[in-house]
Amino acid sequence: MIYKYYESLLYVVILLFFSGCGVYESSPLMVSIRSDDAYSVKSLIESGEDVNALSPDLINQQYWKLTPLIRASITGNIEIIRMLIEAGADVNGKDEWSDTALMATAEFGHANAARLLIESGADIDATKPDLTTALMIAARKGDYDIVKILLDANADVNIGIGSGDTALSLAAWKGNLPIMEALIEKGADVNQRDTEGHPLLNKLITENPAAAKLLITSGADVNIKHKSTGKFTGNSTALHWAAIKGHSDVVKILLDAKPDLEAKTKSGDTALILAAMNGHVKTVDVLLKAGSDGNAKNNYDMTPLHIAANNGHAEVIKILLANDVDLNSRNKDRLTALELARCKGHFLTIKLLEDAGAKE
């Protein structure tokens, strides 16, 4: 038995020698844990090794100061994790980056280790300085099993709202619908905003329509407005953003939820005005068929026809003309759509308006 003990210690020394750590030399206990050598870990614990001491170790080609329990949670060795906990390891101890052992299991995908730590009293809602939790890490990694384990342990699903990412936003950006559903079922706020006041729905609507649709069917407010003070983005809704980008399919998803078609941004633009401004023909058509006001005016008394004429969007003008919009409405400068087209030299637009009977 004594021979076996010294053999294990010799093995640890050899590992240290070949690790080339220099000033970052790992402790014998850390090296044994890294090597999944449960016998050496047991021997070192029995010889009085500190199970809570921070020691540098190489993780992803970078040296971090970790606790032995965090190192064991990275490798996911249940036997060693249990051994350390029984020896008095702090299940909530943090490394130099404020990670906990539970966060490590989420990062490296060890569901059984996560379950053991929770059963041993791990704080499921422990946060890093940026409010990152184990649940957020698991959501970002797309690890449904660990997300479910944490949710079953009543992890707080809304940590991070107003301060940065949340578990729901991280899952949404990855388009992980099963994890989104699990989080929403546990009460994740579908109307959450980021630090700049952007509602999650408004950010997702043009980037991940499937995730946005899940938010909508889960009760997200399709008329929630961006809190920005910006002239063009302030008070914007998801419909505004879909119109700006010209995503007609996304517009249709929103229309099923009965949004306010005449909602206006701080500059007074409706979704139809924004679609016309950017020359999105199909989106203009979809909005008009849904009942959008073809004569709506923004803060400058510019109608969709004014905007399209000013920008030379002839195809948009054809659709607007087919919907009997007011040809001779004047903006705040007392100019008609035809006069704007003449000023810009949009000859095809001028002809379309003249043929339709527009006047100056």
Which tops the pLDDT comparison, 61 or 298? 298
Residue 18: the pLDDT is 42
Residue 16 pLDDT greater than 50, yes or no: no
Which tops the pLDDT comparison, 46 or 10? 46
DSSP 64: E
**Could you tell me which residues come within 8 angstroms of residue 185 by beta carbon, excluding any fewer than 6 positions away?**
none
Q: How far apart are the first and last CA of the chain?
A: 104
pLDDT, tens digit, 9 for 90 and up, residues 146-188: 999 999 999 999 998 767 789 999 999 999 999 999 999 999 9
pTM equals 0.84
Which tops the pLDDT comparison, 40 or 206? 40
Give the bridge partners for 57, in sequence order: 64
* Residue from 71, 75, 74, 24 nearest 44 by CA: 71
Q: What domains does the chain contain, in order, with CATH numbers?
A: 1-123 (1.25.40.20), 294-360 (1.25.40.20)
How far apart are the C-alpha atoms of 247 and 189, rounded to whole Å? 25
How far apart are the C-alpha atoms of 51 and 45, rounded to whole Å? 7
Residue type, 236: S
Residue 136: the pLDDT is 97
Residue 60: the pLDDT is 72
Residue 24 pLDDT greater than 70, yes or no: no
DSSP 116-127: HHHHTT--TT--
Q: Residue 185: phi, psi to the nearest 5?
A: -60, -30
pLDDT, tens digit, 9 for 90 and up, residues 95-108: 988 999 999 999 99
Residue 14 pLDDT greater than 80, yes or no: no
Residue 232: the pLDDT is 62
The mean per-residue pLDDT over the stretch 116-141 comes to 96
